[in-house]
Amino acid sequence: MKSLKENGFSADKIVENGNKFLIGNGYLGYRGTLDEFTAKECVGLNIAGLYDGVKGKWRETVNAFNPFFCVISLNGVPLDVRGKEMLSHEAELDLERGLFRRETKFLVGKAHVTLSSERFVSAVEEDLLCSRTRLTSDMDATFFVKAGVDPDIWDLNGPHFTDVESRISGSCVEVKGRTQELGIPVRVACALSHSLQNFHGGLGEFSVRLKAGETFTFDRIARVLVGEKVFSACSYERAYKAHTEEWARLWLLARLDARGDARAQFALDYSIYHLLILAPKGRYSIAARGLSGQTYKGAVFWDTEIFLLPFYMEVLPACARRLIEYRIDTLPAARKKAQDYGFGGAFYAWESQNGYDACSDFNVTDVFTHRPVRTYFKEKQIHISADVAYAILRYYERTNDDALMLGGGLETVLSCAEFARTYSYYNHIKGRYELLDVIGPDEYHERVNNNAYTNYMFFFTAKEGLALAEKFAKKYPARFEELLLSLPEGILQNLREWTEKLYLPKPDAEGVIEQFDGYFRLEDVSVEKVRSRLCHPNEYWGGSGGVATATRVIKQADVIMLFNLYPDKFSAKLRRANYDFYLPYTEHGSSLSRCSYAIAACGIGRREEAYAALLESAEIDLKGGGKQWAGEVYIGGTHPAASGGAWIAATHGLGYGRKGDLA
């Protein structure tokens, strides 16, 4: 299996490469930055599921103190990739072993010096990460090393730690602090293979005398300890062996065969690598930007259920169960949100931080006035509850895990359906229930009526939930009666009556389902024409006054998403008509879009189009693609959903299978 390598160094690509060369283990994510970099270069050690809010700022995941900062100097000249002494540089991400390496050659005076290092986040122990640095010179020389745990942290909305302290005991350095909001203790402890002197603020130094051709090796074993966990050291060799053996096992489960297509093979390997480093080890979930940083507040979106879960169900079913358990665990918060808005059932967080909805009322900043723009994602993207229910239903369909369904799964599905029922409006003139004032997957059009994706998804949620309720009532009558006690009285009958009268938009004469009421009356204009109306490259296209709002141009797949999730409910002819209609209007302003069209193209026999869209999705982080800004808000980072969507298209559409197991 190949590695991802990049030769040379460009300061303009520091942030991009931090994403591209990311390493992680589901709990910790360490950005692909270099040893000599600091918070200014966006060094980040992100912790899944740990959130903190600073007054007046967005709540987000927490980055830990950096245990791998290291600057080596010769004759007062730092070995820094940005210096004029740098001769060559190579960065490498070993996909097969989950390792990041760098090798940089310098000319300092007359001495040719090679600095190399490798690091990994343990695939076995969730709080462990290790680094090994090697140094050689073709001349006798004395080097000075500055290392330890750097307490300076890159935050988008921090600082997140108070009471920061550092200490050293022998060759072990520790920096600790408490989160601002809840006072959760976080320590980063690092055992070094060399003792430090002149210790201050988490960092110290030592000198090493090298003879020509001799290699100096410097190891660091670090742990990120949340709460009252105790530090324990280990050898680099032992940790490396366990880590690489686990990666070998993971690739046996996960790797696909792209049938001799080298480009597709590497793109899929890279996508799968990112899915593997995000596999949760506890009952937490996967953020929209994975472990690449604090973008999108480190929150969990519908991406996880719709685009990521299929991979884990197939490859790592225990992880899939954890993702489902996360939503069951946060059912009380979803019920409270529904109640807060005056509805029944469960209204899930649009941006979930362990159930809390972190979505702001002002998610975008106007690039012209620099004022926050009111958005309605939190209140109106009600389809999130249908997405959660869909994931639970598909998981059960694959596993027949009755225990999970009796332990909250069925209760969650029915609660999501009940939310939609109470949200709906009964139109007495037309004699039907409607879902008004919503936002579908296409976020450029806010507060629309009867979004087809939303209406159909809740219809299927209710129908499948009722069918399972009937099954469990017969199979486990006593347990089912107990389950009903946690639900509103008469919920089953109410849902039956509701599904019979819920409005489901039907195809027009050309076979196209209108995305929402009035969509066909919007300005019929191309994506290119709308783009030409932009006055600023980072201008937001949607909202009340965006350039796309009054047009048919959409952000991402919407109606098409519905067909991808329920292909058997709609004919190929109908799916083809909608694909041809909506694709030209799609701006692909979300990383979820290309892979959605790839999956859709597979289902209607457009293999060449599917292949092209699959590659765009799988290569989005390789090429540094995707939008980096929404107005003045940074939204950069990795794109796990694009990786997951590419995997779905490859396995369920184009038929790529495992070695010796081609579909």
Using CA atoms, how far apart are residues 209 and 142, in angstroms rounded to an integer? 4
Using CA atoms, how far apart are residues 637 and 623, in angstroms rounded to an integer? 12
Distant-in-sequence, close-in-space partners of 305: CB < 8 Å, separation ≥ 6: 323, 327, 387, 388, 390, 391
Handedness of CA 392, 567, 255, 307 (dihedral sign): negative
**182 residue type, one letter:** L
Distant-in-sequence, close-in-space partners of 551: CB < 8 Å, separation ≥ 6: 522, 523, 524, 525, 530
Cα 58 from chain centre: 18
Polymer length in residues for the chain: 663
Give the Å distances, CA to CA, from 486 to 272, 332, 479: 39, 11, 12
Angle at the Cα of 448 (from 447 to 451), degrees rounded to 5? 125
Of the candidates 3, 1, 72, 53, the one whose C-alpha atom is nearest the C-alpha of residue 32 is 3
Which tokens sit at 58? 């967005």
Catalytic pick from 126, 305, 351, 443? 443
Give the Å distances, CA to CA, from 636 to 18, 30, 418, 620: 11, 15, 36, 12
Give the Å distances, CA to CA, from 288 to 53, 294, 452, 571: 18, 10, 24, 32
Which tokens sit at 253? 């489960």
Of the candidates 221, 217, 292, the one whose C-alpha atom is nearest the C-alpha of residue 32 is 292
Of the candidates 181, 267, 137, the one whose C-alpha atom is nearest the C-alpha of residue 618 is 267
| Residues 419, 345 contacting (CB under 8 angstroms) | yes
Place of tokens 């290309």: 594
Distant-in-sequence, close-in-space partners of 288: CB < 8 Å, separation ≥ 6: 295, 296, 299, 300, 301, 303, 351, 640, 641
| Residues 310, 652 contacting (CB under 8 angstroms) | yes
| Residues 359, 377 contacting (CB under 8 angstroms) | yes
Residue 446 is a catalytic residue: no
Collapsed DSSP state (helix, strand, coil) of residue 107:
strand
Q: Which neighbouring-strand residues pair with 334? A: none
Using CA atoms, how far apart are residues 38 and 620, in angstroms rounded to an integer? 26
Which tokens sit at 454? 């939303």
Cα 647 from chain centre: 15
* Burial (Cβ within 10 Å: 0-12, 13-18, ≥19) of residue 187: buried
Catalytic residues: 443
